[in-house]
Each structure stands twice: as structure tokens, then as C-alpha cells.
Structure 1
Amino acid sequence: MLSQKVRDLQQAGNRPNILVIGDLMIDHYIVGEANRLSPEAPVPVVNVRNEFITPGGAANVAQNLLSLGAGITLGGVTGNDADADRLSDVLKKEGIDASAIFKDATRPTTVKTRVMAGSHQLVRVDRETTHPLSADLQKAFIAHAKNAIDAADIIVFSDYNKGLFAPELTQHLIEEANRRDKKVIVDPKGLDYHKYKGAYIIKPNRKELAEAAKTERISNVEQLQEAARVILKQTGAQYIVVTLSEQGMAIVSELAYQLLPVKATSVFDVTGAGDTVIAAMAYFMAQGLNIDEACELANHAAAIVIRQAGSAVTTVEEILQDMESR
């Protein structure tokens, strides 16, 4: 029984080391009340009651892994600014190794500011630059990442299309990982999946898969398999894991297809669910479980977080309780 297998692993006390490389950002929330319109323009006036930040992007994947019990090294690029210092402070307090994060003075740290009236988002303001890293910074990043790759049990790429995963840099990182026999799991973004060539697993959602495979839509199993095989051929990946929202997730390889039905009993907020899925997959595969087992557990993890508001995280014990309650 899978739940007992996981409990045995937990009792053994193994703590996998996972390297997360990706686009780093800050989620900044301004929360208040809006009871009137401005006399200057037909927009709400927000009376601010609270303001806070949380790590976003690849840093949210790291937080999910930390909650599951992994040791984390986080790699990426920020600006050389006060927001980078704020992010670094939060990561250090949480016990995430941020030694593989570089600062780039030519870009700001990515910040997404959401203005909320109660639970309603009124506007989002983004501060970001998405140009690729300079050639010198790419070389420095690769050189520094080698030690982190050596120490990792598994590697996660969290691509938010903010400039880190330029094709040349992405390929260098995958080659370094494969040279050391380390599996790379990719949460992709954008239309060019050739840059992920050599990755072990690529995890798009349905819309991302359709766009990358250049198909108009995916509305049935046959279309999903056909699109996934386009990406398998492009990248040489062993598996494409497709998240399907209310339908669960599908695991596609050259020889097999498996649908894992959704485990959610209710859906409140899907924000950050993709980060939870890839974190759970990486954690359980680093513990020695196979892809089917890891995806089954990730499916339960997603069911837990989408019942909560915002980017939530979960624990192994909560996943086990969710499995055993069904």
C-alpha cells in the first residue's frame, strides 16, 4: 500500500537534497477595504489594513519542498536592490540555502503587487525585466551551479519566462545534471521546449502543452497523447506529466498513457497548485518512489492546497491523511 510505503520512508528519516533553479520573485500583497469610489476617477479607494510579501516563482516551489521535509538549495537571479535583500532575508529565516542566487544590476527583482479589497483582487502591478542574462553572468551561474548539482538528489527547473532559462544556459545546466546522472524535472513556460532537451520529466498544463506542440486544442485523450509525443520527440524526455485542472493529471511516455483523476473534493483557489505538484513529484522521486507513485501523491497534494486561499503548501502527513480518508 502506497501510504504505508511513504510512512516507512518517513520513519527512516531520510531527507533528500533538492536543487531548485528558476525565476525568483516576490509576491507583494496590499490588503484593505474599498467602500467608495475616488472623486478623481471611477476607481475604488482602498483603505489599507495590511501589507506583506511572500516568496514567489521558484521560491514558492522551494517553500513547498521545505514543507514536505526536503533540504533545499535555491538557484536563480535577482536584481541588486532592496527587494532582493528582502527576499534573501525571508529565505534565510526559513532555512533555504540561497547560495546559488546571483544578483544582476541590470534588472530589478521581479515583484508582483496585488491590491486586494477583502478577498477580491482589484489590480496587479508587475515590476520586472525579462531579458536574458549576459554571457558573463551565464558562465558564472553555470560554474557555481555545478557544486549544487553535485550535492542534489534531484533537480527542479521552475521556468516563469522571466529571462533565466535562455536556451544555451538551460542546455548547459541539463548537460551538467545528466553528466552526474541527476534527473531534471521541468515546470515549463513559453513555446520553445527544445531548450529542455535531455530533461527527465516535463510538466506542462493542458494549455501550455497545446501551445508548445502547436495544436489548436486538446479536448480528448487522443489529442493529448499526440501533443505530448510531439514534445517527447523534441526533447527526448522520458515522461510528459500534464496537469488537467478538474480532470487531474496524465502521465505520458512513448509507450504508455495513464490518467490520474482529480482528488479534490472542493476547489477554492488554484493559485500555486502547479508549484505544489512539481515539488511533491520531486520530493517523492528523490525518496526513491517511481513516477506513478510520485504523481499519485502529488495529485493528493494539489487537492489539499486548492482547498485553501492563495499559494498554500502541504506536508507529507497531510497528504497521507488525505489518501487514507478516501
Structure 2
Amino acid sequence: MKNTVLVQGNFDVLHPGHIRLLNFAKECGNELTVAVNSDASMTVKSRVSERHRLEMVQSLECVSNAFLTDSPPAEVVQKYKPDIVVKGKEFEDRPNDELDILSQYGGKLIFGSGEFESNAEQFIKRNRPIDRSFEYSEATSYAQRHEIQFQEIENCLNRVKHVKALVIGEVIVDEYVQGTAVGLSQEDPTIVMTPSKKETFLGGAAITAGHIKSIGAQKVHLISVLGNDEAASYTQKHIQDYQLEPHFFTDESRPTPLKTRYRASSKTLLRVNQVRQHKISKSLQQDILSTVESLIHDVDLVVFSDFNYGVLPQKLVDQITQLCQQQHIKVVADSQTSSQVGDISRYRNMDLITPTEKEVRVALNNPDDGLVILAKKLSEKSNPKNVVITLAEEGIFIHKPGDNSLQWENDRLPAINKNAVDPAGAGDCFLAASALALTAGATSWQACYLGSIASACQVGSVGNTPLELTTLKKAVMDSFN
């Protein structure tokens, strides 16, 4: 028996949340039909034409049929009489005019947003093989939608050299143990590897600061707390390689965070984290605040690079944020969630926050809603000027507010580098480049464009090392050619 499924929507900019919803809808029946609202029927003008929106929906493997419509959902259901109508979870507690019509002939209304762990990109039809070069086509469409010109991006990168920044957070020492996977142990089901090389890098807040300096900032201060151990000695010895101004404090009650990745070929087999998560003492918090107060008058940008290992308690975050607001300084934040620990929403009134989708769901305790609703709820809770939800190999989802008379606006940028060698540093690099761009006068759309290209460059090699400005400029130039 064939069960027909109907979904209706704007699909303004097709993002992973849409794709997950449509794939979920296809699983509810045998044949999925999608009604795409026409330009004339939309209450908010779209940056994407109805023809292009329809073509994007038709490009999905899960969609059997798609068409444009001027009619509201109830009239579409009345005309086509699908067996099932699927809507996002956010509509479950709202009035649904289709329900009365569906009940007349035995149709069903199902709410769901799909599984966020799934990779939405796999549901797009592929008409050509994927090569190993950067894929700029959708980035080009994004630039056209927002009227981004090469000269604007180049001018922004030139202005970056005047920016002075301050990065606060946990420094992490990253070890990469490269070897050969021999096979499975005969005694137990354990992978056996023979190590051949070990490389060590400075990560965490150090690499975020390193990116900012390497991309071109005039001066970058780094504030962090280290333990009394070999990892701390390594940090003290090598921090000058990043040309930073370090302000390190010692806490002997905690180790310097050390993360060791065991890799074979291009795959990570195991990661071992040596960390503690208890908060630093009140005296250390006061020392850090005093240091910030002494530097704040000569800073244009403050970055919270929070890995939730206790360096940034809430009171200290609020005090530093208040200082930034008093001095009209840009302030951005990234708060990485380890397991269920971490809350990006505690960073309030930021110019930019860049959580992963999991981090947003953990902060809101929300496993159900789609990306748009997640972003809105996070915005209502923490009041940022810009939200970028990072989606790993699916790219980024951008949620941007207008003024009091305008609605929030959404867009997305797919991952430009489809063949990441080591994705570990993508988020740090995106935060650094986009925050720098905003401070240098870029629009939110321009900043996200530049951040995405920077991330694509960063994930092309193993190890999180500062991105060179020449590399970024070349990739920007390539994206416009």
C-alpha cells in the first residue's frame, strides 16, 4: 500500500534542518511530495528566488515530487489529500488548520524534526564525483545573495592589522601519536598500533589567539591558567612561536590540559584527555580580572575560548563582559561542551557566539526542535547579536537579528573543504577569523564567509597550527574566480 506524505514550507535557504525534516518525512511513507511556497505567498521577502528554492528541494533524494504553490497549507491538503502531513516539532503546540481536513478522510498529522546526529549532506543527489579540491559553488551563491564583493573582503583583511585582541580561556597541549594499525589483539578485541612519530601543538585558547595573530592582528594578549607540569613547561617554551603576549597564572591543583590523539593513516583511533574541571579559586579569578582591567583600554576585541575546565566561572565572565560593554569593545564566545558539561547560553550579550549543534541542545536541554527554533530559543535566552551554529562537515547555520522592526534572518554555508584531513581546529579558526572580521568592520554575512574559508584552509592538514594570512588571501581570491 502506498502512503503519500506532504510537507509544505518556504525553504528559504535549504539548510541541514530542512533536509533532516524531509528525510524523516520520507521515512513516514512511500512517496514524499513537497509544496514550496511561492514568492508571492511569503510574508517575508526571500533572498532566494522561488525557482531556485524549488530546484534545491528537487535535488534531494528523499523527495519524489515538488511544486510551487500560492495556497495556504489547509487548501493544499484539501486538494491533494495526502495520507500523511509532516510538520516540524515546533508546530506541535500551535494551531494546525490542516488537522480538521485530515480527520475528514482519515489522514494523519505527524510532528518531527529528524535526527540531528545524521549527516544531512548524504541525502543530496550527486550528479558528479567529488574531487579533493575546495568546493566554492554554494559559497559563491551565498556571496551573491548578500552582495559580497572580493574588494570588500580584501579591504577587511587589510584593516585587520589595526586590531588588538585579548583571548581568555584554557590552553590545551595537543599530542598526535602517528603510527600503523597492526590489527586486533589476540587476547581481547583491542586495536593494536605501532607508533612511529609524535607531534605536539598548542591548542585551545592558545590556537585561537594564534590564529588571530597569524591572520594579521596587531597584538594579541592571551590569559590562561596552567598547572605545574611538563605540559605547562612546553606551553611556556613554545608560546612565543605564536607571537602572543602571554599572561599565565599557575594553579597546582590542576594539570595543564593535555589531549593525546592516536592516529593510523588519516584516522584517529583513540583520544586520551588529561584534564580537571573544577573552578579556579576566587583569588585567581581576581588576578585575572585585574589583568583584564589593566589591558582593556588598549583592546578592540575580547574572545572567550571556553573548554569548561574551570578557568571561566560565571562571575568572572559577567565581570569581563561588563567591562567590554562599558568600553564598547567587541566580545565573542565559544564554549565547548564535554559530554553534558557546558552551557553556551551563559555567555550573554555577545557580538557573536559559535556553538555546535550539540552544544546548543545541551544548553537548552532540547533534543527535538529544528535548527531555526533552536537558534531562536538560544537567542531569547542569551541575547547575542549573531549566532552561528557549526555543523561539522555540513558547514554552518547563521542566525542574525535585525532591528526592532525586522525579523531574524537565517542562512547557511556548507563546508567548503569536503575532504578534511583533521577537523579538530575548524571551530577555533572560524571563531578567530569571523571575530576579527567583525571587529575590522565587516558585516555579519561577510564575517561568516571569511570564517568559513579560513576553516576550510585549516582542516586541510593534521595538527592545529596558526593559519597564515597568505593562505587565507589565496583561498579568498580563488573563491571569487
**Under a length normalisation based on structure 1, what TM-score does the superposition of the two structures give?**
0.88
Residues 178-193 of structure 1 aligned to structure 2 (within 5 Å)? 178-189=325-336, 190-193=341-344
Distance 1:208 1:37, change over 3 A: closer
Deviation at residue 324 of structure 1 after TM alignment: 3.3
Per-residue CA deviations over 1:156-180 (Å, capped at 9, x if unaligned) read 1111111112111111111121121
Distance 1:299 1:45, change over 3 A: closer
Query: Partner of 2:246 in structure 1?
Result: 98
Distance 1:285 1:247, change over 3 A: closer
Give the percent of matched residue pairs that are identical in Structure 1 and Structure 2.
Answer: 26
**Equivalent of 1:82 in 230, 254, 258:** 230
Q: Tell me the secondary structure at the aligned position of residue 123 of structure 1.
A: strand
Query: Partner of 1:136 in structure 2?
Result: 283
Residues 58-69 of structure 1 aligned to structure 2 (within 5 Å)? 58-69=205-216
Distance 1:253 1:210, change over 3 A: farther
Q: Is 2:294 the partner of 1:109?
A: no
Query: Partner of 2:72 in structure 1?
Result: none
Residues 8-19 of structure 1 aligned to structure 2 (within 5 Å)? 8-10=155-157, 14-19=161-166
* Partner AA of 1:208 in structure 2: E
Q: Which has the higher mean CA deviation after the structures are superposed, 299-308 or 5-14?
A: 5-14
Residues 1-326 of structure 1 aligned to structure 2 (within 5 Å)? 2-10=149-157, 14-35=161-182, 43-70=190-217, 71-99=219-247, 101-189=248-336, 190-218=341-369, 223-245=370-392, 246-253=394-401, 255-268=407-420, 269-311=422-464, 313-326=466-479
* Partner AA of 2:232 in structure 1: A
Paired with 2:158 and 2:323, the residues of 1 have a C-alpha distance of: 33
Aligned 8 A contact 2:170 2:306 in 1: yes
Q: Which has the higher mean CA deviation after the structures are superposed, 130-139 or 8-17?
A: 8-17
Distance 1:235 1:33, change over 3 A: same
Deviation at residue 143 of structure 1 after TM alignment: 0.9
Distance 1:51 1:192, change over 3 A: closer
Paired with 2:205 and 2:301, the residues of 1 have a C-alpha distance of: 15
Deviation at residue 44 of structure 1 after TM alignment: 4.7
Unpaired segments ≥5 residues, structure 1: none
Aligned 8 A contact 1:262 1:303 in 2: no
Paired with 2:457 and 2:209, the residues of 1 have a C-alpha distance of: 18
Deviation at residue 42 of structure 1 after TM alignment: 5.2
* Partner AA of 2:322 in structure 1: E
Paired with 1:311 and 1:94, the residues of 2 have a C-alpha distance of: 12
Per-residue CA deviations over 1:206-245 (Å, capped at 9, x if unaligned) read 2212222222234xxxx32322222222222222222233
Per-residue CA deviations over 1:251-281 (Å, capped at 9, x if unaligned) read 3326321313225152223221111110001
Q: Tell me the secondary structure at the aligned position of residue 297 of structure 2.
A: helix
Paired with 2:168 and 2:301, the residues of 1 have a C-alpha distance of: 11
User: Number of residues paired by the alignment?
Assistant: 321
Deviation at residue 110 of structure 1 after TM alignment: 0.7
Paired with 1:292 and 1:184, the residues of 2 have a C-alpha distance of: 17
Paired with 2:190 and 2:234, the residues of 1 have a C-alpha distance of: 31
Deviation at residue 148 of structure 1 after TM alignment: 2.7
* Partner AA of 1:178 in structure 2: Q
Distance 1:214 1:47, change over 3 A: closer
Name the Cα RMSD after superposition. Answer: 2.4
Distance 1:305 1:12, change over 3 A: closer
Q: Tell me the secondary structure at the aligned position of residue 161 of structure 2.
A: coil
Aligned 8 A contact 2:387 2:399 in 1: yes
Q: Tell me the secondary structure at the aligned position of residue 308 of structure 1.
A: coil
Distance 1:249 1:321, change over 3 A: farther
Unpaired segments ≥5 residues, structure 2: 1-147
Deviation at residue 10 of structure 1 after TM alignment: 4.9
Aligned 8 A contact 1:3 1:320 in 2: no
Aligned 8 A contact 2:167 2:303 in 1: yes
Paired with 1:202 and 1:84, the residues of 2 have a C-alpha distance of: 29
Paired with 1:129 and 1:66, the residues of 2 have a C-alpha distance of: 28
Per-residue CA deviations over 1:63-97 (Å, capped at 9, x if unaligned) read 22122112211111111222112112111133111
**Under a length normalisation based on structure 2, what TM-score does the superposition of the two structures give?**
0.62
Aligned 8 A contact 1:155 1:185 in 2: yes
Deviation at residue 107 of structure 1 after TM alignment: 0.6
Deviation at residue 5 of structure 1 after TM alignment: 2.5
Paired with 1:95 and 1:69, the residues of 2 have a C-alpha distance of: 11
Deviation at residue 2 of structure 1 after TM alignment: 3.3
